[in-house]
Amino acid sequence: MQENYIQNLNPEQEKAVKHIDGPSMVIAGAGSGKTRVLTYKIVYLLQNNIKPSSILALTFTNKASKEMQKRIEEIVGFNYSNNLWMGTFHSVFSRILRFEANHLNYSSNFTIYDTEDSKSLIRSIIKELNLDKEIYKVNFIRNRISSMKNNFITAKEYNNKKELIEADKIAKRIEFGRIYNIYNNRCMKADAMDFDDLLIKTYELLSRNKDTLLKYQEKFKYILIDEYQDTNNIQYLIIKKIAALYKNICVVGDDAQSIYSFRGANIQNILNFKLDYPEHKIYKLEQNYRSTSTIVEAANSIIKHNKKQIKKKVWTNNIQGEKIIIAKTGSDNEESRIVAKTINDIQLQNEARYEEFAILYRTNAQSRALEEALRKRNIAYKIYGGLSFYQRKEIKDLLSYYRLTINQKDEEALKRIINYPARGIGLTTIQKLTIAANKMNISIWEVINNIEEIGLTINNGTKNKLENFVSLINTFKEEIEIEDAYTIAEKIAKKSGILSELYNDKTNEGINRFENIQELLNGIKTFTDSSEQNNTLPEFMKEVALLTNEDKEDQKTNNKVTLMTIHSAKGLEFPYVFIVGLEENLFPSLMSKESEESMEEERRLFYVAITRAKKRVFITFAASRFKWGQIIDCSPSRFIREIDSNCLEKKEMYSKETRKPVYSVHLKTRDRRDKTKQSVYQKKLRKINNNTINSRIDLTKITNGIKVKHNQFGTGTVINIQGEGINKKATVFFAGVGQKNLLLRFAKLEIIEK
DNA sequence: ACCTCAAACATTTTT
DNA sequence: TGTTTGAGGT
């Protein structure tokens, strides 16, 4: 074990590291060595003879936890680092839930439904109930269920909350409560949990079983939490419970980098921390070691525009560096070409490697033009986010075979593969099976196994096909606990017919899919070889649902330009950073204009983007941009004006090429669409561009206590008014949504009663 | 039961 | 623009 690592710390960092007894909070500005403090703190604990297994360290992404584990391992060795309880909230809690499954009416091999599975289940429920899918939109229903769960409103409680039912009534979604209830029952029946369940069920487990709670309170004597500003309400409550005994809890975060409120993250948790642990100590890390002083100053000048923030002054001793370049370009394609050219130039002049560059954008859809421009210049790049490897169709298909073999109740897996590859079991048959399963409250698998007893009318041919399918899965089942993961995984890939189905598809996509399957099998092989005792397929599958693209490191060549959303860039750093698409309605996003709060979150997002850079920042915006096959005129983002002009150098960059006219094959349909119904987006856009005053209602009529209706949040009560004239703002409490600050000139509020 | 094509849909961010 | 879904034909 190395002893001298503490020398690498400044006095404040050292104090934070050595504070191990009692609660502490580290407010860490961007680039101030936050990860270093966390890492060394864990090392320090281990050196003070704390057992690794009694340290719980929670991170925001798997990647962050892996990185930290690696750094700790380098200092203390694998035997110590391996026994730490380190990971994301979801992965650590799923471990606990599997261990304690018997307390919850779940088996320890329960399935984790990802977002796709949840949506597919909701889609079936809506269909079974014969509801109008225009009113009951799958995405909306899933989001609403998720937000209910994150606010601790069970399906039962929903039925007691008049405001919620009222809100759904107004939106003509009277059956929401029923869908919510059925959804929960179906998950339970399938021995499956969705992402939110992993948190909720953990909380339930700890609330209902005193012994279990005590066990984990005793176990986790030391708790550390990274990115605390992005924890949500349930996560906060679970941690509060576990930490209640020893109160050795250390949270690390930066309120200026809170960018996940759409997922329920709550900055309030930072304030609550002070109230919950009055004996706490706060350490502020304000020296930035990452960026040039120009970048630090620019970042400070932006975040200054936010009203809500904890006071701190980030500063640096680093050199001034070069100014931030802001480039105005003609179109999105031109923007991409200029970014690619600039990367090329810098790479040649400064002998920089491609891996030193990152291109950051607000939405995933922006990557397409950039990819094209990079490809044209033969610049190697890797792209994060978008469709995850594990979400690809062929991967999910094969994984569904594994899932069903492990858990026959897994309805979504069964539906996915019962007729893939095609074996002549059609929709009609599946419908009959589903109806019977719902009626008798058993799984589809059980129905198939008891067709005779149930008395279903299915012809003998189909019956035969069903029997073959069942015995196929049963043969896999016999071996899955005995064989190692790779052996059985490969066997299933072959015998299910997936491998040959894809092998025979000689189209480009087919070849690609075949290769992806090979890659998955290779991954399983690595898993099998690296873990000698617990190397069964069920063990492998426990991790898979929580993995994302970022966890699948591409080992081939690492010298590539990185493309990602700003959200996924959190916690990373690059010498050269390009931030593209700085246009009103894109960044800040159109959706964020309804309230001051979401506008401030967009601004924090911009702050995060700039502070990723070590040496240089390039910002670009375009005068026009392709969106849904149409060209949209854009104006520069307000954030550009907010940067201190001393840090900036402005450029206009037009290449000679103008946009080629686009001739559409589907001219007819587009014509009609343009004339008849304008897209919602267009309408919104026009509204914001044209009017500065909300014309629908008289703003003076909105006062304290008045009831209003909002088309997204439902009904709510005005609890506070600020400002005057066109800057008048209202704080409104919406049932089931919470408090929102709305700028009245934008928010389309209707007055319901006085 | 399966295949094909045109219409409809979608764009905020993700464990 | 690119992807998904559903109707209608075989």
DSSP secondary structure, A703-721, as one string? -TT-EEEETTTEEEEEEEE
Residue A660 DSSP class: P
Q: What percent of chain A stands above pLDDT 70?
A: 85
* A343 pLDDT above the threshold of 80: yes
Q: How far apart are CA A31 and CA A300, in angstroms?
A: 13
Task: State the pLDDT at residue A292.
Answer: 95
Say what the pTM is: 0.81
Name the closest nucleotide to A138, judged by C1' and CA.
B9
pLDDT digits (tens, 9 = 90+) for A694-728: 333 445 566 777 776 655 556 667 766 655 544 45
Q: How far is the CA of A659 from the C1' of B10 (A)?
A: 24
Q: How far apart are CA A150 and CA A479, in angstroms?
A: 39
Least confident piece of the model among A468-472, A509-513, A589-593, A744-748: A744-748
Closest CA to A316 of A292, A335, A284: A292
- Average pLDDT, integer, range A43-54: 93
Q: Which residue is nearest to nucleotide B14 (CA to C1')?
A: A263
Name the closest nucleotide to A670, judged by C1' and CA.
B7
Closest CA to A363 of A598, A38, A585: A585
Q: How far is the CA of A627 from the C1' of B12 (A)?
A: 14
Helix axes A537-544, A508-530, angle to 10 degrees: 120
Q: Given the structure tokens 């949270």, which residue do they identify?
A: A251
Note whether A632 and A617 are within 8 A (CB): no
Note whether A741 and A597 are within 8 A (CB): yes
Note whether A93 and A199 are within 8 A (CB): yes
Q: Give the CA diameter of chain A.
A: 81
- Average pLDDT, integer, range A224-253: 93
Closest CA to A245 of A218, A272, A270: A218
Give the contacts of A685 (CB within 8 A, at least 6 positions apart): A585, A590, A632
Q: How far apart are CA A509 and CA A136, in angstroms?
A: 34
Q: How far is the CA of A545 from the C1' of B11 (A)?
A: 25
* A53 pLDDT above the threshold of 90: yes
Q: How far apart are CA A429 and CA A447, in angstroms?
A: 12
Strand ranges, E, within A43-158: 55-59, 85-88, 111-113
Least confident piece of the model among A49-58, A437-446, A532-541, A731-740: A731-740
Between A670 and A118, the higher pLDDT residue: A118
Name the closest nucleotide to A626, judged by C1' and CA.
C1
Closest CA to A186 of A384, A373, A414, A338: A414
Report, in ranges, which bases of strand B sit under 7 Å from a protein C-beta: 1-3, 7-15
Task: State the pLDDT at residue A162.
Answer: 82
Distance of CA A617 to the CA centre of its chain: 26
Note whether A587 and A602 are within 8 A (CB): yes
Between A91 and A749, the higher pLDDT residue: A91
Q: Given the structure tokens 């909105």, which residue do they identify?
A: A702
Task: State the pLDDT at residue A220.
Answer: 95
Amino acid (one-letter) located at A342? T
Amino acid (one-letter) located at A563? L
- Average pLDDT, integer, range A342-360: 92
3-class DSSP state for residue A258? Answer: coil
Residues of A with catalytic annotation? 34-35, 226-227, 257, 612
Total Cβ atoms within 10 A of residue A390:
18
Token digits for A537?
């397929």
* A681 pLDDT above the threshold of 50: no
Could you tell me the pLDDT band of residue A662, with boundaries at 50, 70 and 90?
A: very low
Could you tell me the pLDDT band of residue A678, with boundaries at 50, 70 and 90?
A: very low
Q: How far apart are CA A558 and CA A555, in angstroms?
A: 7
Main-chain phi, psi angles of A497, to 5 degrees = 95, -5
Task: State the pLDDT at residue A387.
Answer: 66
Q: How far apart are CA A432 and CA A428, in angstroms?
A: 6
Side-chain-side CA neighbours of A284 within 13 Å: the count stands at 8
Q: How far is the CA of A660 from the C1' of C1 (A)?
A: 15
Report the footprint of strand C: residues with C-beta closer than 7 angstroms. Answer: A 133, 368, 626, 628-629, 662, 664, 666, 670
Could you tell me the pLDDT band of residue A753, with boundaries at 50, 70 and 90?
A: low
Q: What percent of chain A stands above pLDDT 90?
A: 39
Name the closest nucleotide to A123, judged by C1' and CA.
C5
Report, in ranges, which bases of strand C sit under 7 Å from a protein C-beta: 1-2, 6
- Average pLDDT, integer, range A520-538: 86
* A748 pLDDT above the threshold of 80: no
Note whether A581 and A376 are within 8 A (CB): no
Task: State the pLDDT at residue A686.
Answer: 34
Task: State the pLDDT at residue A717.
Answer: 72
pLDDT digits (tens, 9 = 90+) for A66-106: 888 888 998 888 888 888 999 999 999 999 999 999 999 99
pLDDT digits (tens, 9 = 90+) for A130-146: 777 777 888 888 888 88
pLDDT digits (tens, 9 = 90+) for A451-490: 888 888 888 888 888 888 999 999 999 999 889 999 999 9
Least confident piece of the model among A43-52, A285-294, A495-504: A495-504
Task: State the pLDDT at residue A527.
Answer: 87
Token digits for A271?
């304030």
Q: How far apart are CA A200 and CA A243, in angstroms?
A: 17
* A320 pLDDT above the threshold of 90: yes
Total Cβ atoms within 10 A of residue A550:
17
Task: State the pLDDT at residue A616.
Answer: 94
Q: How far is the CA of A263 from the C1' of C1 (A)?
A: 29
Between A355 and A134, the higher pLDDT residue: A355
pLDDT digits (tens, 9 = 90+) for A586-618: 988 888 887 888 899 999 999 999 999 999 999
Which burial class, exposed, middle or buried, applies to A349 when counting CB atoms under 10 A from its CB (0-12, 13-18, 19+)? Answer: exposed
Closest CA to A153 of A736, A732, A715, A733: A736
Q: How far is the CA of A745 from the C1' of C6 (A)?
A: 41
In this structure, is the dihedral angle defined by the CA atoms of residues A11, A12, A16 and A22, taken in order, positive or negative? positive
Phi-psi region of A43 (alpha: psi -120 to 50; beta: other; left: phi over 0): alpha
Token digits for A190?
């399938």
Give chain A's mean pLDDT.
Answer: 82
Q: Which residue is nearest to nucleotide B15 (CA to C1')?
A: A90
